[in-house]
């Protein structure tokens, strides 16, 4: 049901552009029996630019173990070419925590897709600063943790959350309309691994109540933006955005109802691409390979 079978692996590379990279990388994979099934590559500039590549390959005929492959790649290719890189195996699911507050729509969308095996992740926990959505988590058999969080107790709350996430070896966090701001210290533990859904077309309408802002401004399209969380509010690298047409007839409340449809779709796509290792962050922007 997942879009790539569990015998697939993905290699992500960032480096200075230089002749022969594709050749050397593909030679390495060919030598050890990795059959490339998808390759996408991008260079900011052919002369002294930055080079990005994403490869998918079949692991069935590998002549090395997964660990050996990674270790050989490090020595034989990554080091000589000074690559930033990662290899991930589709058989190992990422462990994702979901943070929510009271709105259920983003959580519902994620859990429903996950239960249908559209999203290849494990969900060790749902964390919320409110108890409201506990039943929701329960109906999908996912552990729910109610950890109160407001400015006065943020430090304690974040320590509690961090302890939980560490214990469960969480790889990343999805903020499915979590209405508390996380501290730079907390964010730093999961750099470029926290995905937020903001309910506007960023950079328009940063901050609180963007639907009211959009209504006040009289825009003819409203949108949603999935982005990585950084220490600057709503300013992290954008992963995905979409919009829907609206008319003067709709008040802020109705914009919110329509907008939730876009939020759900945009967040689900961003999470899917994250899980499929399609995203590289570069200069506070994202390279998203071969999406859809």
Which residues belong to the active site? 234
Q: What is the DSSP letter of 74?
A: I
CB closer to a second copy out of 157 and 239: 239
In this structure, what token pair is assigned to residue 45? 């500039």
CB closer to a second copy out of 75 and 247: 247
Rounded to a whole number, what is the largest CA-CA distance in the chain? 64
Interface of this chain with a second copy, residues 30 to 49, rule: CB under 8 A: 30, 33, 35-43, 46
Interface of this chain with a second copy, residues 115 to 154, rule: CB under 8 A: 116, 118, 139
Rounded CA-CA distance 181/152 in Å is: 12
In the complex, minimum distance from the CB of residue 68 to a second copy, in angstroms, rounded to a whole number? 19
Q: Kindly report the CA angle at 4 between 165 and 12, in degrees rounded to 5?
A: 65
Any contact of residue 286 with a second copy (CB under 8 A)?
Answer: yes
Report the Cα 251 to chain-centroid distance in Å. Answer: 31
Q: How many CB atoms lie within 10 A of CB 162?
A: 15
Binding mask 166-205 for a second copy (x = CB under 8 A): -----------------------------------xxxxx
Closest-CA residue to 267 (of 231, 230, 223): 223
* Of 63-71, 152-160, 184-192, 248-256: span binding a second copy (CB under 8 A): 248-256
- Across-strand partners of 13? 53, 85
Any contact of residue 221 with a second copy (CB under 8 A)?
Answer: yes
Closest-CA residue to 21 (of 72, 84, 64, 68): 84
CB closer to a second copy out of 169 and 283: 283
14, 26, 88, 168: residue in contact with a second copy (rule CB under 8 A):
26
- Across-strand partners of 100? 128
Tell me phi and psi for residue 202, to 5 degrees.
-65, 150
Residues in contact with a second copy by CB under 8 A are 3, 19-20, 22-23, 26-27, 29-30, 33, 35-43, 46, 58, 61, 104-105, 108, 112, 116, 118, 139, 201-205, 217-221, 223, 237-243, 245-250, 254, 257-258, 261, 265, 284-288, 290, 292
């Amino acid at each position: 049901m997942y879009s790539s079978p569990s015998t697939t692996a993905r290699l992500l590379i960032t480096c200075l552009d230089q002749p022969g990279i594709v050749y050397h990388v593909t030679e390495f994979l060919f030598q050890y029996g990795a059959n490339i099934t998808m390759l996408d590559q991008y260079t900011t500039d052919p002369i002294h630019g930055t080079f990005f590549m994403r490869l998918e390959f079949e692991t069935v005929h590998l002549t090395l173990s997964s660990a050996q492959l990674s270790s050989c790649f490090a020595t034989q290719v990554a080091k000589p070419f000074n690559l930033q890189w990662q290899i991930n195996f589709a058989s190992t699911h990422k462990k994702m925590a979901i943070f929510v507050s009271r709105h259920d729509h983003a959580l519902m969308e994620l859990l429903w897709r996950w239960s249908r095996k559209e999203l290849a992740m494990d969900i060790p926990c749902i964390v919320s600063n409110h108890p409201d959505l506990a039943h929701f988590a329960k109906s999908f058999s996912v552990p729910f943790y109610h950890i109160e969080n407001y400015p006065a107790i943020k430090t304690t709350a974040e320590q509690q959350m961090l302890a939980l996430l560490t214990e469960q070896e969480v790889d990343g966090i999805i903020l499915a309309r979590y209405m508390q701001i996380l501290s730079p210290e907390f964010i730093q533990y999961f750099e470029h691994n926290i995905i937020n859904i903001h309910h506007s077309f960023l950079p328009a309408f940063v901050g609180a109540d963007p639907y009211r802002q959009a209504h006040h401004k009289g825009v003819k399209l409203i949108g949603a933006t999935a982005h990585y969380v950084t220490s600057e509010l709503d300013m992290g690298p954008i992963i995905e955005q979409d919009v829907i047409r609206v008319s003067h007839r709709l008040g802020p409340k109705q914009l919110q109802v329509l907008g939730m449809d876009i939020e759900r779709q945009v967040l689900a796509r961003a999470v899917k691409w994250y899980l499929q290792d399609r995203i590289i962050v570069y200069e506070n922007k994202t390279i998203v390979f071969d999406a859809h």
